[in-house]
């Protein structure tokens, strides 16, 4: 772990060195060591977030840390990889003091325990602008079993884990929408936005079952489009099959125009995957054994594009979709 000021050395010693695993060498060497089990490949991904863009500067630092970690773990899960390690680089404004760091590091520590991962290293620098936090996550997968975006085939079914649209509604609530919603529903939806639940248990177990997979960050339909473009296929999603949480149902109620918006909503970090019909029984059994719901929402076809259809198979118009910043 590098550092550019004496204060940064102290910061690393106090807050980050306790998070380091054996390969991190106490964050006191030039680089870290990563073992790779025979017959495995490593899987790496990096994501950056910016204060005021991807999170609010006064969001709880522990939640900011955990969300940054979890969106990266979600990318690993979407490849079928088991998470192992991460590196963290922080560019932070001078006004963030030890309290901020202590809470930020406590969030990392909590999720390290939860996901069985450790810190390998990184960098800590100052900036006169908003905080920029960048994380590189490293996982492993049995060589050849990684799940790519390009393997979907016509006649495959399309599945999604958990529920969709919660994070979109959570962000809307933070912006003041739906003031009459019950406190429990508010808390649930906001939590889903602030702290996604990466499907690290489900993803690796889909190796050998799913033909293509992605995690929902840009939006369900947009991310399915990524699969279709890479796989050179088309997909149809049945709007009535989209799994909604009870809290999302409370918001949607009888507003029929909300469903297409939720189909386009991002930030849920659920797994969206295609699988041959023959894998259906194994997928349902897996869902039960890891206690994560998976729902069939559509199918893959020859052609191009992604269509959302109603119960009668008629196309439903969809607004421009994708990730929405503050």
User: Does residue 21 belong to the site contacting a second copy (CB under 8 A)?
Assistant: no
Region 108-137 residues binding a second copy, contact defined as CB under 8 A: 120-123, 125-130, 132, 134, 136-137
Q: Least distance (Å) from a second copy to the CB of residue 170?
A: 18
184, 226 contact by CB (below 8 A): no
Q: Which residues neighbour 246 within 8 Å (Cβ) at sequence distance 6 or greater? A: 185
User: Does residue 232 belong to the site contacting a second copy (CB under 8 A)?
Assistant: no
Q: Total number of residues binding a second copy (CB under 8 A)?
A: 68
Q: How far apart are CA 190 and CA 173, in angstroms?
A: 7
Q: How far apart are CA 187 and CA 176, in angstroms?
A: 13
Q: Least distance (Å) from a second copy to the CB of residue 300?
A: 18
Q: How far apart are CA 111 and CA 94, in angstroms?
A: 26
User: Does residue 197 belong to the site contacting a second copy (CB under 8 A)?
Assistant: no
Pairing of strands 132-142, 271-275: unpaired
89 phi, psi to nearest 5 deg: -120, 130
Q: Least distance (Å) from a second copy to the CB of residue 54?
A: 7
E-strand ranges in 127-172 read: 132-142, 157-161
Can you tell me which of 19, 20, 27, 44 binds a second copy, judged by CB under 8 A?
A: 44
Q: How far apart are CA 180 and CA 113, in angstroms?
A: 37
User: Does residue 94 belong to the site contacting a second copy (CB under 8 A)?
Assistant: no
Can you tell me which of 16, 89, 160, 172 binds a second copy, judged by CB under 8 A?
A: 89
Can you tell me which of 62, 75, 185, 270 binds a second copy, judged by CB under 8 A?
A: 75
User: Does residue 34 belong to the site contacting a second copy (CB under 8 A)?
Assistant: yes
E-strand ranges in 162-303 read: 212-215, 234-238, 271-275, 294-301
User: Does residue 36 belong to the site contacting a second copy (CB under 8 A)?
Assistant: yes
Q: Is 162 helix (H, G, I), strand (E, B) or coil?
A: coil
User: Does residue 221 belong to the site contacting a second copy (CB under 8 A)?
Assistant: no
What radius of gyration do the chain's Cα atoms show?
Answer: 20
Can you tell me which of 17, 49, 109, 187 binds a second copy, judged by CB under 8 A?
A: 49
Choice between 86 and 245, CB closer to a second copy: 86
Choice between 81 and 209, CB closer to a second copy: 81
User: Does residue 151 belong to the site contacting a second copy (CB under 8 A)?
Assistant: no
CA angle (283 as vertex; 277, 287 as ends), nearest 5: 155
Query: Using CB under 8 A, which of the segments 138-146, 163-171, 173-181, 182-190 binds a second copy?
Result: 138-146
Query: Which single residue is written with the structure tokens 């939590």?
Result: 191
Choice between 61 and 83, CB closer to a second copy: 83
Query: Using CB under 8 A, which of the segments 46-54, 99-107, 251-259, 280-288 binds a second copy?
Result: 46-54
User: Does residue 256 belong to the site contacting a second copy (CB under 8 A)?
Assistant: no
User: Does residue 53 belong to the site contacting a second copy (CB under 8 A)?
Assistant: yes
Q: How far apart are CA 20 and CA 201, in angstroms?
A: 23
User: Distance between alpha carbon 179 and the CA centroid of its chain, in Å?
Assistant: 27
The sign of the dihedral angle between the CA atoms of 285, 288, 292, 293 is positive
Can you tell me which of 17, 25, 102, 109 binds a second copy, judged by CB under 8 A?
A: 25
- Select from 138, 112, 324 the least CA-distant residue to 217: 324
Choice between 4 and 257, CB closer to a second copy: 4
Q: How far apart are CA 106 and CA 129, in angstroms?
A: 24
- Binding residues for a second copy, rule: CB under 8 A, are 2, 4, 6, 25, 28-36, 38, 40-50, 52-54, 75-76, 78-79, 81, 87-91, 120-123, 125-130, 132, 134, 136-139, 141, 143, 146, 148-149, 213-215, 217, 226, 230, 322-323, 325
């Amino acid at each position: 772990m590098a550092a550019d000021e004496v204060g940064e050395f102290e910061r690393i010693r106090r807050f980050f060195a306790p998070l380091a695993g054996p390969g991190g060498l106490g964050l006191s060497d030039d680089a870290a060591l990563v073992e790779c089990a025979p017959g495995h490949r490593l899987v790496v991904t990096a994501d950056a977030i910016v204060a005021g863009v991807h999170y609010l500067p006064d969001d709880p630092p522990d939640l900011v840390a955990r969300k940054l970690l979890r969106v990266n773990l979600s990318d690993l899960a979407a490849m079928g990889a088991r998470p192992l390690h991460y590196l963290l680089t922080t560019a932070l404004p001078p006004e963030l003091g030890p309290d901020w760091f202590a809470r930020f590091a406590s969030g990392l520590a909590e999720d390290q325990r939860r996901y069985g991962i450790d810190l390998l290293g990184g960098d800590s620098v100052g900036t006169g602008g908003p905080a920029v936090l960048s994380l590189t996550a490293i996982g492993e997968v049995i060589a050849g079993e990684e799940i790519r975006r390009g393997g979907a085939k016509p006649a495959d079914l399309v599945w999604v884990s958990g529920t969709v649209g919660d994070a979109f509604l959570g962000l809307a609530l933070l912006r003041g929408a739906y003031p009459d919603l019950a406190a429990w529903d508010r808390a649930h939806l906001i939590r889903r936005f602030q702290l996604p639940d990466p499907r690290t248990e489900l993803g690796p177990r889909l190796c050998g079952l799913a033909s293509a997979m992605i995690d929902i960050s840009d939006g369900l339909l947009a991310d399915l489009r990524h699969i279709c473009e890479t796989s050179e296929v088309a997909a149809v999603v049945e709007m009535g099959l989209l799994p909604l949480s009870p809290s999302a149902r409370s918001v949607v109620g009888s507003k029929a125009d909300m469903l297409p918006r939720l189909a386009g909503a991002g930030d849920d970090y659920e797994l969206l995957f295609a699988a041959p019909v023959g894998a259906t029984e194994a997928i349902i059994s897996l869902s039960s054994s890891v206690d994560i719901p998976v729902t069939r929402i559509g199918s893959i076809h020859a052609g191009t594009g992604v269509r959302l259809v109603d119960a009668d198979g008629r196309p439903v118009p969809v607004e421009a979709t994708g990730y929405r910043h503050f």
